[in-house]
Chain A
Amino acid sequence: MFLLSSKIGFRGHLGVVWGTFIVRIKTISRYKGMLFMDILMPILFAAMPILLGQALAGSISAASANFEQNTGLIGANYVAYIIIGANVFSTVTTSLWLFGFFIRREQTLGTLESLFMTPAHQIAILAGLTLYVEVRSIITFTAGYFFGCLLFNINPLQGQSGLAFGILLIGLIPIYGLSFLLGALILKVKQANSLLNTFQWFLGIIMGVFFPITVLPVFFQICAYVFPGFWLNYSIQAALMDLKWFFFNMYGHLAIIFAFALICPLIGYWIFAKAEARSKSGEGIGQF
């Protein structure tokens, strides 16, 4: 007989993290087209402004020179800049979609209530989900970046690749924090598609995907500074293209990313827990 125990040890929580990760991996393995789409989308997304630049300036080198001159980013190859930006944007929005959509999908399937009926801690479930999103993001970012660079004849290993990889690993953590926040909003308003769609294109502008945020009006620049996605994107662009660091130096950027990585998940989870409690006081978290 299984003995009832409410005292769950570290191994028990680890089992939940691992179980959630494996379930997600198994599920995505049964939707093979999604991984293919994740890799292809940022390349297609980047191709449009790259080809537009070429069409306007006459050639890629002329477009690149214009880009350098108009943005002040000395040494920036606009093709590489856009490919990196598109891949980071795709990774960030995928992370937001995965969490936000996760909540909504589980709600409609009825599995959200099933999860909440188990004694598993939400943090362990979210950690398993985060691990899956991180692995998926890194695979699709790396594949998308390399294919994009090869397609547009750019050396993918220029600059500090290791540093860029490290920034990606840490810089995605605050994005997950924001996605918990988005999850809380979806529990409340139950409109994942419209919320996420609106949010992601606004983020696209303030992240500086195709252009540095210095070209934006002041209000949008301020929005960008408080959004971790901007720091993630620009830091990877700076590391891979040896651009001038925006805030002092590399360490300044790393400090900001670390600070976001500490604060955002805490705030996100806190707000999510509040939304959960509010739902339980009403019709319940499974009501859709």
Chain B
Amino acid sequence: MVSNAIIEVVNLTKKYHSKKRLGLFRTQKNVVHALKGVTFKVEHGEIFGLLGPNGAGKTTLIKILTTLLFPTKGTAKVNGYSLEQDKEIKSSIGAMLMGERGLYWKLTGKENLEYFGALYHVPKRLRRDRIQSLINLLELDNIADRTVETYSSGQKMKMVFARALINNAPILMLDEPTNTLDVKEARRLRKIVKEQNEDYNKTIIFCTHLMHEAEELCHRVGIIDHGQIIALDNPSELMNNLQENDILSIEGHIPEKTIQILQDLPGIISANILTKRVNNGSTEEKPYLNVVCRDSHQALPEIITTLNNHGAIIRNIDKKETTLEDVFVNITGRSLMEDTRQEKSKT
């Protein structure tokens, strides 16, 4: 089969030393294995999702592909250039890293775009038109002439996204681009990402910890965890692989001790407490019991009896549609949302 890969990553490994503080003066050196032999290809014109919790290695991977970091081992090619050809790679990429950071606060949004346009060697005669079209595209006209220090987080994020598009590069690398955006703006940004792919045939690496974003946008998804790609396929295939099993969502008061007991029942593959958004548009989340079993019709009476015998109060039982979250849970035994939340609370 002829490969049309625009990005090729082979056995990429990244280790670095970090210091652990032990009180006032003592420190301990730790080796962090940020990436452990990552290998994948991204085809030309593809939206490739990197889905994983915070700290999984997504940003490290993007930083290596944008030549901000050297890998410890392994190779990669971006747009046909090896990582040593950093100038050529940088010219091929529009990148959005580090969230809303990376703008000059004392400059206006337009001045920032003007400067980055110069740094990307966009000819001056094209630069002004490009900036104006980006301002129109992202609806930034009412803030473009204000200094960045006066922007909200979401506005900064949109301006950083505009900066990633300034050089009209064939490859976009977007690291959690919808962070800090409200629901409406995040949806709009995803629509623009899709347009960039469909209308301009741009290849996009889209890092996210939000499964619905990956499901909605990506042609293929690499699930990354602890520096390793643990699953890689298109979202529907990943979910289909799980569909031979049934997934039950049980809401109510579920005592912790029942989880292990459920896991020991015949026909039960896994049982975990996960959380999901309350379905009213708010950011509030509620816990539920997620049970993966071979045949829900057979297993359900036993599950209900076990729960009742151990003091659970069941409010609702649903047979769930499989999501990428379930794929992640099935492979790692952990919840993506839970991992991300724990990582955030650590920082």
B120 touches which of A109, A113, A116, A120 (Cβ 8 Å): A120
B145 at the interface (CB under 8 A from A): no
Binds A, one of B62-70, B180-188, B307-315: B62-70
B17 at the interface (CB under 8 A from A): yes
Interface positions of B from 44 to 77, Cβ below 8 Å from A: 63, 66, 68-70, 72
Measured in the bound complex, the distance between the Cα atoms of B68 and A198 in whole Å is: 31
The verdict on A26 contacting B107 (CB below 8 Å), with A119-B90, A119-B91, A282-B17 known, is: yes
Collect the chain A residues with CB atoms within 8 Å of residue B16's CB. Answer: 281-283
Collect the chain B residues with CB atoms within 8 Å of residue A113's CB. Answer: 68, 97-98, 102
Collect the chain B residues with CB atoms within 8 Å of residue A27's CB. Answer: 104, 106-107
The answer to whether A2 and B126 have CB atoms under 8 Å apart is yes
Collect the chain B residues with CB atoms within 8 Å of residue A44's CB. Answer: none
Residue pairs across A and B with CB atoms within 8 Å: the count is 110
Interface positions of B from 97 to 150, Cβ below 8 Å from A: 97-98, 101-107, 111, 114-116, 118-124, 126, 130, 147
For the complex, count residues of A whose C-beta is within 8 A of B: 39
Closest residue of chain B to A281 (Cβ to Cβ) is: B70
Q: What string of 1s and 0s marks CB contacts (under 8 Å) between A121-135 and chain B? A: 100010000000000
Measured in the bound complex, the distance between the Cα atoms of B69 and A116 in whole Å is: 10
Which of A8, A31, A120 neighbours the largest number of chain B CB atoms within 10 Å of its CB? A120
The verdict on A26 contacting B88 (CB below 8 Å), with A109-B102, A283-B18 known, is: no
Binds A, one of B167-175, B232-240, B281-289, B317-325: B167-175
Q: What string of 1s and 0s marks CB contacts (under 8 Å) between A101-120 and chain B? A: 00000000111011111111
> What are some 10 contacts across the A-B interface (CB < 8 A)?
A22-B115, A27-B104, A110-B98, A110-B101, A118-B116, A119-B88, A119-B119, A120-B118, A120-B121, A286-B98
The answer to whether A277 and B124 have CB atoms under 8 Å apart is no
Measured in the bound complex, the distance between the Cα atoms of B127 and A197 in whole Å is: 41
For the complex, count residues of B whose C-beta is within 8 A of A: 44
> B181: shortest Cβ distance to chain A, in Å?
18
> B66: shortest Cβ distance to chain A, in Å?
5
Closest residue of chain A to B173 (Cβ to Cβ) is: A117
Collect the chain A residues with CB atoms within 8 Å of residue B111's CB. Answer: 23, 26
User: Which 5 pairs of residues, A with B, have the shortest CB-CB distance?
Assistant: A110-B101, A19-B118, A114-B102, A118-B119, A119-B90
> B69: shortest Cβ distance to chain A, in Å?
5
B90 touches which of A19, A117, A286 (Cβ 8 Å): A117
A31 touches which of B104, B106, B122 (Cβ 8 Å): B106
